[in-house]
């Protein structure tokens, strides 16, 4: 299995267009130890030729241009794409708007839960992906599904599972209480598996906390790409960026007694990679003590273009 991080940043990317935080200023200035990051997405392929996107970010056009394997193969036609399917983990802007880049009557399949399919179905701009060209498949929860594209099966299965999280920002409904209208299926994690080899990994770009079912699922995993949005729950408040905690945004923090470093400690995961890293996160500074803390705890800080073979 071939895996490529297309975008390792959270919504907004790094630098974010309207952000003057120290990290964004440093990366804009080209300071040593800082790397630009596009918004949250991975690509996976069993054979290195036929690819599946895991989320479709607003930076997808640039991400495709930067990845030779995702470019058209003229031997297969004057209009061609190695992208055969896209799987969405929620309805957030950073995970769905890249679909709009994939117009031009190019066939592929969109997989998402019923909740997220409803978001696409009720936003008419997505009709640019005509349903007879780009079929939409509803993912069940907790059951493996064969990933398929226009030419049939891609040799991989996806298992979608609910994780603690929050409905997309633009759908929050304060009248619905503390959950803001969040329902099961609004935020999922994915297990991608090659049934021929048994190789498998987890992709969880948004997660509010590790509950017991999630701990059990991840126990002993070979590879997990996980929500690295914030280092500390109140970091955006302290930087004067926004009045929201990570908890309020549906994102676990890296540090602290309830953070992801502590939560993964007993799970025995072989390889742990942070993705969906917000521009405020101090781990984005390769020379920071927080970066050292994460790496010492056995975490890798994902970056755009990072490739893994399983
Ligand atoms: C998130 O990950 O919390 C969202 O991408 C935030 C947003 O939509 O801006
Ligand atoms: Mn996001
Ligand atoms: Zn910033």
Question: Quick one: pLDDT at residue 146?
Answer: 98
- Hey, what are 183's tokens? 């329902």
Phi then psi for residue 222, to 5 deg, are -80, -35
Q: Report the pLDDT averaged over residues 287-309.
A: 98
Phi then psi for residue 204, to 5 deg, are -135, 80
Question: Quick one: pLDDT at residue 14?
Answer: 98
Whether residue 249 has its Cβ less than 6 Å from ligand 1: yes
Q: Report the pLDDT averaged over residues 272-293.
A: 98
Phi then psi for residue 274, to 5 deg, are -80, 140
CA dihedral 208, 83, 97, 129 (to 10 degrees): -130
Question: Quick one: pLDDT at residue 191?
Answer: 99
Q: Which atom of ligand 1 is nearest to the CA of 170?
A: 8
Question: Quick one: pLDDT at residue 1?
Answer: 98
CA distance 37 to 144: 31
Of 27, 112, 37, 89, residue with least CA distance to 226: 89
Protein residue with its CA nearest to atom 1 in ligand 1: 11
Whether residue 94 has its Cβ less than 6 Å from ligand 1: yes
Question: Quick one: pLDDT at residue 199?
Answer: 98
- Arithmetic mean of pLDDT over the chain: 98
CA of 92 to the centre of ligand 1 (A): 6
Q: Using pLDDT thresholds of 50, 70 and 90, give the confidence band for residue 296.
A: very high
Question: Quick one: pLDDT at residue 251?
Answer: 98
Question: Quick one: pLDDT at residue 226?
Answer: 99
Percent of the chain with pLDDT over 70: 100
Q: Report the pLDDT averaged over residues 248-260.
A: 97
Question: Quick one: pLDDT at residue 187?
Answer: 98
Ligand 1 probe mutation, 94, 206, 229, most atoms within 8 A of CB: 94
pTM of the model: 0.98
Q: Report the pLDDT averaged over residues 101-113.
A: 96
CA distances from 13 to 34, 37, 41, 213, 284 (A): 13, 6, 11, 31, 12
């Amino acid at each position: 299995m071939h895996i490529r991080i297309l975008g390792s940043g959270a919504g907004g990317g790094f630098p974010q267009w309207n952000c003057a935080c120290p990290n964004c200023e440093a990366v804009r200035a080209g300071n040593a130890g800082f790397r630009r990051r596009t918004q949250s997405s991975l690509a996976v392929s069993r054979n290195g030729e036929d690819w599946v996107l895991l989320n479709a970010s607003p930076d997808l056009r640039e991400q495709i241009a930067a990845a030779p394997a995702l470019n058209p193969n003229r031997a297969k036609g004057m209009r061609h794409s190695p992208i055969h399917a896209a799987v969405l983990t929620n309805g957030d802007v950073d995970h769905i708007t890249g679909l709009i880049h994939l117009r031009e009557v190019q066939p592929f399949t969109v997989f998402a839960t019923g909740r997220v399919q409803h978001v696409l179905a009720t936003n008419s701009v997505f009709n640019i992906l005509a349903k007879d060209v780009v079929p939409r498949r509803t993912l069940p929860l907790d059951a493996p599904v064969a990933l398929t594209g226009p030419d049939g099966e891609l040799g991989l299965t996806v298992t979608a599972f609910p994780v603690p999280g929050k409905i997309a920002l633009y759908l929050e409904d304060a009248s619905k209480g503390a959950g803001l209208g969040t329902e099961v299926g609004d935020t999922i994690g994915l297990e991608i598996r090659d049934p021929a080899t048994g190789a498998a990994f987890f992709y969880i770009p948004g997660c509010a906390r590790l509950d017991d079912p999630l701990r059990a699922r991840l126990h002993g995993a070979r590879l997990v790409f996980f929500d690295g949005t914030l280092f500390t729950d109140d970091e955006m408040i302290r930087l004067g960026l926004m009045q929201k905690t990570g908890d309020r945004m549906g994102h676990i923090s890296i540090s602290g007694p309830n953070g992801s470093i502590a939560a993964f400690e007993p799970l025995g995961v072989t390889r742990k990679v942070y993705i969906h890293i917000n521009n405020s996160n101090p781990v984005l500074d390769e020379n920071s003590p927080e970066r050292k803390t994460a790496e010492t705890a056995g975490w890798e800080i994902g970056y755009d273009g990072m490739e893994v073979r399983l």
